[in-house]
Structure 1
Amino acid sequence: MSSTATEPPDTGTPAATAGSPWRNPLVVTLAVLALAAVVVAGLAVRGAFGPYVPQPDSVDVGFAQDMSVHHRQAVEMASWARDHSTDPRVRQLAFDIETTQNQQVGIMQGWLGLWNAPILPDGGHMTWMADAMHSGHSTGGMDGMTAEGGMTKMPGMATTEDLARLRATPPPQLDTVFLQLMLRHHEGGVSMLEYGRDHADVAEVRNLASQMLTAQTAESQLMTSLLAERGAQPLPMN
């Protein structure tokens, strides 16, 4: 005895998809386009279609330019103290500063190359810190300003005479001169490090500025202690 299968009535719409808007080609197309727009917008912000390139007058570019200059002088002073100090603690400190800041200069110069930005800033230093400079906070106010609104010399930088005195001073007096100049140099860079940490657009720039600030704060504390052992005082900020 055979049985006859009963088929569902033909309504013109597949049973599995009846009433489902996602089977409507127009709805699906619009949903895909909307999702694609969201994804593209998110990836573009993160630089997924190429490295994010800051503007020439940005905090990121200015920080990399000025901090490279600032670091290079620290490396110059540290390398001299490393080779001529007779105190193992001073030699170790100088070696650490020289090694770390040389590496950081390489990182920052690499960024400038990727961004196709000049190695040195135009119109003086610290123009990327315009808000802090014009408010006079942590930068020595408006002294030493260029016509373009930058600084002719960054805070804490040693003069040509300072560097000559460092080279001419024999140990152990050399240690005191080095510690004084390097401590002032570190302290002079604090405002730039804080501003870069707080205002740079690129996360790597913010992170590096924060790392620099942490390391240099610890080094400044050590140098202050070493100066106190020698009965010497820190230099006033220039």
Structure 2
Amino acid sequence: MTCVPFSRLPVPQLAELPLGGIVGFKGEALDLVQGLSPCIAEGDDRVSQSVYVIGAPRSLTVKIGFTNDLARRRREIQYMCPVEVQVLWSCPGGPALEQALHDRFTELRSHGEWFTFEADPVETVRRAIESGQVRRPHAAPSGARQAVQQPPPVDLDRVAHGSLWRTYGASQFTVADAAERLGYGPATLLERLVALVGKGHARRRQPIRTDPTRQLFTVRPCL
């Protein structure tokens, strides 16, 4: 279980969301901003991005993601995991390479950005890249002017809805339980659920106590 950066709000906004007093997700917010910042070609000294495989040693279930700060990202994932995790493998890369790996191993997806392999995850990922099954974006020539491109728009509500429907179906769930299982920050997931309720794609059930993370929700099958 880990924090998966789905929200794209700037850090100050995310840290001060007026959602029942839930604040302070600045560590996650840094990755959120990185995830939708303009994509700078690999090799640009302005941003040092890494695609990583993080998991417990000898475990076949690992997380594949990208970050601008590998050490900090490992600490964040460790905070949410009951067993010790390590950076098992990394290489220069950004969201394009991360997505290519996710697409290549989509049938092995356990949940969120976690994948359960049948053999050594590191060797499987490395072979997929070296054999050309996964294409790495080409780095621009040294000294060349780096092109800055805007990423395609991401429907964050659709992403959250898909994860929730695959996990719970039509069953009820609390914000806290879903955030832990899917790797969201509670405030981020609550924001997505409120948006889905407004669109008619989710239903808010009776709150439990006064803690907004204990509210019950259900999602509809289609978005």
Taking structure 1 as the reference length, the TM-score comes to 0.24
Structure having the higher strand fraction is: 2
Query: Which of 1 and 2 has higher RCO (CA within 8 Å, sep 6+)?
Result: 2
Structure having the higher helix fraction is: 1
Indicate the structure (1 or 2) with the bigger Cα radius of gyration: 1
